[in-house]
Amino acid sequence: MKKFGLILALSGFVALGLTGCGKPPSKPSGAIATGTTGPNGEILGPDGQPVAGVSDIPMEVSLASFKANLYEPLLEPYCASCHATTFVEADIEKAHLAFLSRAGFDKYAGIDQTLPVQKMKQAHNCWEGSTKTCVDTMTAQMNLWLKDLEANGYKPKPVVYPNATGDVMLATAAPITLTIPPEYAFGGVDKATLAAPFTMATDDVDGAIKSYATSAAGTARANNANVAQAITWNMDIKAPGDYFVWARVKTEADTGNEFFFRPNNGASTAFIAPVTGKDTWKWAQMFVVQNNNVTTNPFTFNVAAAGTIPVSIIFREATAKINQLVLTTKPDFNGDQFTRTFMDITVPLNVPGVTDAKIVATVWEQTVEEGKRSLGVKELKIVSPVPLHVKGIYPLINGIYSSNHGTYTLVDTVAGGPDATKQVISTGGSTASTWLADLTVDKLSFAFDVIEVAK
Ligand code: HEC
């Protein structure tokens, strides 16, 4: 329903945008004659080849839609002065065929990859002041045309990629628990014991742990670091060392952003978090506090031996909210692994001579807004009994590759085999990428320039 409304709104906007604006380019001097008719009167594409892949197009529907959505509102007024021998022919049937050859629905990779939209992206004779308007308008009108074709049973033919796997529904992936490296000890407040004035709430947390501890506005502290007023965890410390302290907090004002931290039933130290604002959860590191001012020195405390130790967050200021506590020896803390809900999407591989090989994408849902849904991709893994040589990976969403889908085409590596630490595919550059995809309805597959048993 929403989508439909959006398209109507867009086409309304386009119609408005086009009336009364811009006169046709006046100089016909740029007229070009590529892609006219061949010796037998057949329509030739811009490459000089006859129009391909049109045999199953519902021609009448296509012609009418082309006329209404492209020819009359856009091509005639803005492109005819130079393209009157091809896709803006006075004979609209010829123009239609010529334009079909430019659309390239026989090797389709998304509307944004079609030649007319690409030309607009190159700011090719844009009739508006803004390239973006021309790109958006051409995209919207091309989409209207394609929608009409699809409504009449036509499907554009995707580019055929080498060594492609089958499709897997993204929605089949269940949430997974990441293996947290041993340098971390962590706990959500759901794993802690709360004492007054702390109370547990669940009304607004956006992460994987849906609860947080807070205290009622107006609560006064009896005396500094009253150890009875505590949230207490039993933290599982895997190795001795100096530990940094991080907490995921939400703090509305600097009158409500302070705790005390107390490791191992020892001394309590002030933990002053930054003010995050009333709508944002943030990972806050604990820094040394001097004269009630936060310094730039990270606070650390030493743990002499592996084992379980009690740690507590003690009440200091009312309304400060805390959702998770992490202790780590790693100076480059990354909270994502504690905050996001990750999923593994497993796609079986077809490698001659190898059974049970698969590629696993670990993803999280990044944006769920209508029209711009995306997945964050934490990593790709090859799970295989023997190491595989993998070169040029094309993640395909619904069979279509988009350059938005990552930098994995540059991969040339060996991954998989009995050693689990050799599974992750290294891109050599950035680790995470984004796929434009909707977890609930889209399908994932992969293609490879090369996938074979490593030699
Ligand atoms: C002032 C002349 C001029 C105007 C106006 C013009 N073009 Fe072009 N167009 C050219 C020339 C010259 C080329 C060949 C060079 C190139 O590819 O840029 C070309 C090439 C193209 C091509 C690739 C070759 C082909 O035959 O398909 C497309 C697609 C295209 N134009 C689309 C458009 C569209 C859509 C419009 C209207 C919004 C437009 N052009 C307006 C001059 C023009």
What's the pLDDT tens digit per position in 262-288?
Answer: 999 999 999 999 999 988 999 999 999
Ranking 151-155, 205-209, 360-364 by mean pLDDT, the lowest is 205-209
CA distance 366 to 389: 30
pLDDT for 142 equals 97
83 CB near ligand 1 (under 6 Å): yes
Over residues 386-409, the mean pLDDT reads 86
Ranking 23-27, 67-71, 368-372, 445-449 by mean pLDDT, the lowest is 23-27
Q: How confident is the model at residue 408 (pLDDT cuts 50, 70, 90)?
A: confident
CA angle 206–212–213, rounded 5-degree value: 160
CA angle 424–427–430, rounded 5-degree value: 110
Q: What phi and psi values does residue 118 have, to the nearest 5 degrees?
A: -60, -40
pLDDT at 104 over 80: yes
Contact 182, 238 (CB under 8 A): yes
Counting residues of the chain whose pLDDT is more than 70, the rounded percentage is: 88
17 CB near ligand 1 (under 6 Å): no
Pocket residue to mutate for ligand 1, from 49, 83, 89, most atoms within 8 A of Cβ: 83
Over residues 361-374, the mean pLDDT reads 83
pLDDT for 1 equals 32
Q: Take atom 11 of ligand 1 and give the residue whose Cα is closest.
A: 32
User: Six-digit token pair at 333?
Assistant: 């803390």
Distance 31 CA to ligand 1 centre (A): 9
Q: Take atom 18 of ligand 1 and give the residue whose Cα is closest.
A: 124
Atom of ligand 1 nearest to the CA of 134: 38
Atom of ligand 1 nearest to the CA of 79: 37
pLDDT, tens only, 326-348: 999 999 898 888 888 899 999 99
Whether domain 184-329 has CATH 2.40.10.230: the reply is no
Looking at per-residue confidence, does 396 or 334 come out higher?
396
Over residues 375-392, the mean pLDDT reads 94
pLDDT for 247 equals 97
pLDDT at 33 over 50: no
Pocket residue to mutate for ligand 1, from 14, 21, 32, most atoms within 8 A of Cβ: 32
pLDDT at 86 over 60: yes
Over residues 411-418, the mean pLDDT reads 94
pLDDT for 429 equals 53
pLDDT at 399 over 50: yes
pLDDT for 151 equals 96
pLDDT for 169 equals 96
Q: If you write DSSP's letter for every residue of 330-392 in order, what string do you get?
A: -SS--THHHHS-EEEEEEE--BTTBSS-EEEEEEEEEE-STT--EEEEEEEEEE-SSEEEEEE
Distance 122 CA to ligand 1 centre (A): 11
CA distance 375 to 155: 25
pLDDT for 293 equals 93
pLDDT for 379 equals 87
Ranking 27-31, 108-112, 249-253, 387-391 by mean pLDDT, the lowest is 27-31
Q: How confident is the model at residue 37 (pLDDT cuts 50, 70, 90)?
A: low
- The domain segmentation of the chain, as residue ranges, is 2-151, 168-176+340-453, 184-329
31 CB near ligand 1 (under 6 Å): no
At 196, is the secondary structure helix, strand, or coil? coil
Q: How confident is the model at residue 41 (pLDDT cuts 50, 70, 90)?
A: low
Looking at per-residue confidence, does 145 or 429 come out higher?
145
User: Six-digit token pair at 354?
Assistant: 């190898």
Distance 119 CA to ligand 1 centre (A): 7
The number of beta carbons lying within 10 Å of the beta carbon of residue 21 is 12
| Amino acid sitting at position 373 | R
pLDDT for 2 equals 33
pLDDT for 10 equals 36
Ranking 136-140, 352-356, 364-368, 443-447 by mean pLDDT, the lowest is 364-368
Q: Residues 6 or more apart from 47 whose CB is under 8 A from it?
A: 35
326 CB near ligand 1 (under 6 Å): no
Distance 403 CA to ligand 1 centre (A): 24
82 CB near ligand 1 (under 6 Å): yes
Q: Residues 6 or more apart from 328 whose CB is under 8 A from it?
A: 183, 184, 185, 243, 244, 246
Q: Take atom 25 of ligand 1 and give the residue whose Cα is closest.
A: 46
pLDDT at 153 over 50: yes
CA angle 26–28–29, rounded 5-degree value: 125
Distance 86 CA to ligand 1 centre (A): 10
Ranking 144-153, 203-212, 314-323, 391-400 by mean pLDDT, the lowest is 203-212
Looking at per-residue confidence, does 447 or 431 come out higher?
447
Q: How confident is the model at residue 225 (pLDDT cuts 50, 70, 90)?
A: confident
pLDDT for 11 equals 36
86 CB near ligand 1 (under 6 Å): yes
104 CB near ligand 1 (under 6 Å): no
Over residues 42-53, the mean pLDDT reads 73
